[in-house]
Amino acid sequence: MRVVFVGPPGAGKGTQAKVICVRLGVPQISTGDMLRAAKSAGKLPADLVAKMAAGALVPDGLVIGLIDERVRATDCTPGFLLDGFPRTSPQAEALDQMLAKRGLKLDCVLALEVPKELLIERTVLRRTDKRTGQIYHLKYSPPPPGADLEHRADDREEVVRKRLDTYEGMTAELLPYYEGHGILRRIDGVGSVDEVTTRILSALGAK
Ligand code: AP5
């Protein structure tokens, strides 16, 4: 199954992707995680590090190249779940083309919907375990004592607001694109993590 998660910062894409990928037996492919790993390895140019920290998108060509290479890996043969890609119309068109070349297409695009003030609370209080990548929330999903936590540079409130504007300006245009292809499913992202997981599995017909 080839699935895409679309949604604003803090909608729960990463949290849900980890659970849904185990259920579907497919890898999670997160362009945000790939870019942060490149940054940690000192392989992301300084101007792109600055763009990410400021809440702007990196160039389409870079992420399209990353995904084109990643989806060719053998672990993607049974399918994949894309989290954070595509984010613009050129990215969506490039994805369709790279799949079509191999006779493949997307099965489903899930749009996670959460009100803006809740998105800000979710992102500003998010913490990630540096070692395991596990996502926590200081209020809703507190980390265990002694966890080695990271607060993302782009999770400061003023940057989150900028990222939300970027989402509304660039990524939201994807929804009509996928609606037109008849594969968009809108998911209410408010509720417990388990409640949202149940909605997603139901939309995927995998309950
Ligand atoms: P990326 O890492 O993709 O960030 P994002 O899309 O802004 O999404 P987030 O990771 O902020 O949120 P999420 O929806 O995964 O929420 P999470 O599950 O963590 O991208 C970062 C940057 O990289 C971009 O700004 C851009 O610069 C660059 N980039 C990446 N992809 C790109 C692309 N394709 N093109 C160009 N540039 C790109 O949850 C958030 C918090 O809420 C957590 O604390 C979690 O514990 C909590 N939570 C989750 N669900 C619930 C729930 N149901 N109830 C209570 N709390 C919950």
Average pLDDT over residues 14-24: 96
Write out the DSSP string of 133-199.
--EEETTTBPPPTT--EE--GGGSHHHHHHHHHHIIIIITTHHHHHHHTT-EEEEE--S-HHHHHHH
pTM: 0.95
Neighbours of 48 (CB within 10 A): 17
Identify which of 29, 35, 62, 132 to mutate to test ligand 1's pocket (most ligand atoms within 8 A of the CB): 35
Condensed to tens digits (0 to 9), the pLDDT of residues 179-199 reads 999 999 999 999 999 999 999
Question: Is 131 a known active-site residue?
Answer: no
**What average pLDDT does the chain have?**
95
Domains (range + CATH), the chain: 2-204 (3.40.50.300)
Query: What is the DSSP pairing of strand 2-6 with strand 80-83?
Result: parallel
Q: Check pLDDT > 60 for residue 178.
A: yes
Residue 119: half-sphere exposure toward Cβ, Cα within 13 Å: 22
pLDDT number for residue 124? 97
Kindly report the protein residue whose alpha carbon is nearest to atom 12 of ligand 1. Answer: 10
- Token pair in block for residue 146: 């002694």
CA of residue 14 to ligand 1 center, whole Å: 6
Q: What is the DSSP letter of 45?
A: -
- Token pair in block for residue 179: 């609606």
Q: Check pLDDT > 70 for residue 110.
A: yes
Kindly report the protein residue whose alpha carbon is nearest to atom 20 of ligand 1. Answer: 32
CA of residue 199 to ligand 1 center, whole Å: 19
108 Cβ inside 6 Å of ligand 1 = no
5 Cβ inside 6 Å of ligand 1 = no
How far does Cα 147 stand from its chain's mean position? 24
pLDDT number for residue 172? 80
Q: How confident is the model at residue 37 (pLDDT cuts 50, 70, 90)?
A: very high
Given a contact cutoff of 8 angstroms between Cβ atoms, the answer to whether 22 and 204 are in contact is: no
Given a contact cutoff of 8 angstroms between Cβ atoms, the answer to whether 49 and 39 are in contact is: yes
Question: Is 36 a known active-site residue?
Answer: no
Given a contact cutoff of 8 angstroms between Cβ atoms, the answer to whether 11 and 112 are in contact is: yes
CA of residue 145 to ligand 1 center, whole Å: 24
CA distance 47 to 100: 33
Q: Check pLDDT > 70 for residue 200.
A: yes
Q: How confident is the model at residue 207 (pLDDT cuts 50, 70, 90)?
A: low
Given a contact cutoff of 8 angstroms between Cβ atoms, the answer to whether 196 and 187 are in contact is: yes
Ligand 1 atom closest to residue 7's alpha carbon, by position in its atom list = 14
Ligand 1 atom closest to residue 141's alpha carbon, by position in its atom list = 46
